[in-house]
Amino acid sequence: MKRAQILTLGTAFIVTSGVAQPLPKIQLRPIFLKLKALLATGMEEAPDGSGRFFILQQDGQIVVTTNGADGSEAKEFLNITNRHPHTGVEDGLAGLTFHPGFSTNGLFYIYYTQEKPRRSVISELKVAADGSGDLKSERLVMEVPQP
C-alpha cells in the first residue's frame, strides 16, 4: 500500500470507530497529611489486600502506613540510608515492586543508585518475621554501571 492509502484508511477508521465516551471525573485530594516524608519518590500498595501503602524516600527509607490513616502512625519498613543512595538530584531510592506471589512468599524488589563506582542496583529482599524488610535476605539481581 502507498502512504496516502494508509493515511486514508487510518482516517476512515478514526471517523467510523464510534462516538468518544466522556472522561471520568478525577479529583485530587491530599492523603497522609501527617506523614513526614522527605523527598518522596514513589508509593506502592501491597498486593496482599492489607491496605498497606509503602512510601519511598529518595534518601533510602521506605515507610509503611495504611489506607485511610493520616500517616502519623507510619513505621519504617526498610532503611538503606547508610548506603548513601541519594547524592544528587536524579538518584536515590527510586523504585519498589512486589513479587507476584508476595502474599505467600514475602518477596519484593527495590531499585536504587550507588556511588564508587556509580551504578544502578536492583535487589530482591524478603519481609522479616516482624513485618519489616530484611536486609540480611538481600539478593543482588542486577547492577548497571552509570557513566
Please give the pLDDT value at position 14: 52
Please give the pLDDT value at position 16: 53
Please give the pLDDT value at position 51: 94
CB 63 within 8 A of CB 57: yes
Report DSSP letters for 50-106, one per residue. S-EEEEEETTTEEEEEETT--STT-EEEEE-GGG---SSTT-SEEEEEE-TTHHHH-
**How would you write the pLDDT of the chain (147 residues) with one tens digit per residue?**
444 444 444 444 455 556 788 999 999 888 888 888 778 899 999 999 999 999 999 999 999 999 888 999 999 999 999 999 988 788 899 999 999 999 999 999 999 999 989 999 999 999 999 999 999 999 999 999 987
Please give the pLDDT value at position 140: 97
CATH of the domain at 106: 2.120.10.30
Please give the pLDDT value at position 3: 45
CB 55 within 8 A of CB 33: no
Please give the pLDDT value at position 7: 42
Domain count, the chain: 1
Q: Which domain holds residue 75?
A: 21-145
- Say if 8 falls within a structural domain: no
- Say if 60 falls within a structural domain: yes
- Say if 15 falls within a structural domain: no
- Say if 9 falls within a structural domain: no
Cell of 118: 556509580
